Amino acid sequence: MVDFTPLKESREFRLLFGGQVISMLGNQLTTVAIPYQVFTLTHSSLQVGLISLAQLIPLIAGSLVGGAMGDVYDRRKLLLFSALASSVTAGGLALNAASPHPSLIVLYLVSALAAGLMGFANPSRNAAIPMLVKPSQLLAAYSFNQVGFQLAIIIGPAFAGLLLAKAGLAWTYALDGASFLITIVTLILLRPLLPTPGAMKPGLGSLVEGFRYLRGRQILQGVYLLDLDAMIFGMPRALFPAMAAYVFHGGTTTLGALYSAPGIGALLGALTTGWVEGIHRRGRAVVIAVVGWGVAITLFGFSSILWISLILLAIAGWADVISAVLRNTILQSSIPDSFRSRLSSFQMAVVQGGPRVGDLEAGAVASVSTTEISVVSGGVACVIGAVVLAKALPGFWREGLAKRESPNSDPPSS
């Protein structure tokens, strides 16, 4: 079972975790509402993919800027700024949805800004965890973090489906905005999160310094590239609105179930991550988990029976959370604090940006074929990509954290 020690022993971790779960719940409402609104306005899966593309550049830029600033400035203040600004963007989405003629352009612009703010906050949030718990509790803290994240993924979309059916889009966005206000309170109660002195001032030079640190370290490269492979090719969420309507012949409740199903499997995985601590070759375990995700998504593409499809998505979610816990532990245990926010920003750009590229890929393939072909081809590509990366990065496949490497002991790239 998951280890609750970090939550019991660290008041600061409880505050960060509680605020994060509340904001993630609200964010999941918007995650369902935006593609639903776009599909309702345009009846196009390609348009759903394009709005994700519009979010991609601001999200990556926000992650890189937030990562560079998080290694120099108080991470708590950066999180406060992002939460306050995010509540404003959610209000903008609510006002647009409440208007007699909602604007697709406004939806693109405001959702892009919201993505940039999310990217800005994520590196500081992820890098704050090692500051709040003991080193021996790091894997447990990230496992528990995954429990909260997956609870949000389960409850949020299901609640969004009900809200969209009963209250409409405007109230759905408004509740997201309210969730950030609660998060602000928890952050105010948190102590300052000052990074280790001595990091380079934020700017292009500090980002280049981060990339130089990454270059030649196959263990860290594997963390990013394997997640990118899974998210680009094996994340068919842009097709969920079309599949809910045309494959499963359902409405917003079916849509919410599709978004929630991976989270259910991931929650079960996160609650039973105690055995993960016994894995010594963590790189190999990540590769196997990504292959498992790809296989489950491929089978999902062949299914037209809702309950079977939901089970397959849950299996995919279980594999994904095992990969996520291991990747986070590898990353945060392998880098010094002076690089932690920048390296986390690269990871967040992958974690948050990859699915948006995947949305475009899935929508584009579906627009020239079918939703089923798009899902199946993406799952197969995910499996092939994981095998290729395992061969291309032997240091990641062989080593992981087997010998608890020092930050500079990763094998060089071949």
Q: Give the number of other Cβ atoms within 10 Å of residue 196's Cβ.
A: 12
* Residue 320 C-alpha from the chain's centroid: 11
Domain harbouring 91, CATH code: 1.20.1250.20
Quote the CA–CA distance of 42 and 238 in Å, as a whole number: 13
Is 407 a member of any domain?
no
At residue 358, does pLDDT exceed 70? yes
Burial group, residue 294, by CB count within 10 angstroms (0-12, 13-18, 19+): buried
Is 367 a member of any domain?
yes
Confidence of residue 137 (pLDDT cuts 50, 70, 90): confident
Q: If you average pLDDT over every residue of the chain, what do you get? A: 85
The average pLDDT across 389-393 equals: 91
Question: Do the beta carbons of residue 306 and residue 202 sit within 8 Å?
Answer: no
Residues 6+ apart with CB under 8 A from 278: none
Residues 6+ apart with CB under 8 A from 308: none
* 321-340 pLDDT, tens digit each: 888 888 877 776 777 777 77
Joined tokens for residue 181: 């206000």
Domain extent at residue 52: 5-398
* 157-215 pLDDT, tens digit each: 889 989 998 999 999 999 999 999 999 999 999 998 887 665 555 566 667 777 787 77
- Split into its structural domains, the chain has a count of 1
pLDDT in the model for residue 409: 41
Is 409 a member of any domain?
no
Residue ranges of alpha helices (H) inside 99-203 are 104-132, 138-166, 169-189
The residue to which tokens 């903008």 are assigned: 92
pTM of the model: 0.70
Is 406 a member of any domain?
no
Quote the CA–CA distance of 114 and 119 in Å, as a whole number: 9
Is 144 a member of any domain?
yes
Is 412 a member of any domain?
no
Quote the CA–CA distance of 411 and 396 in Å, as a whole number: 9
DSSP 333-380: HSS-HHHHHHHHHHHHHHHHHHHHHHHHHHHHHHHHS-HHHHHHHHHH
Is 368 a member of any domain?
yes
Is 146 a member of any domain?
yes
pLDDT in the model for residue 44: 86
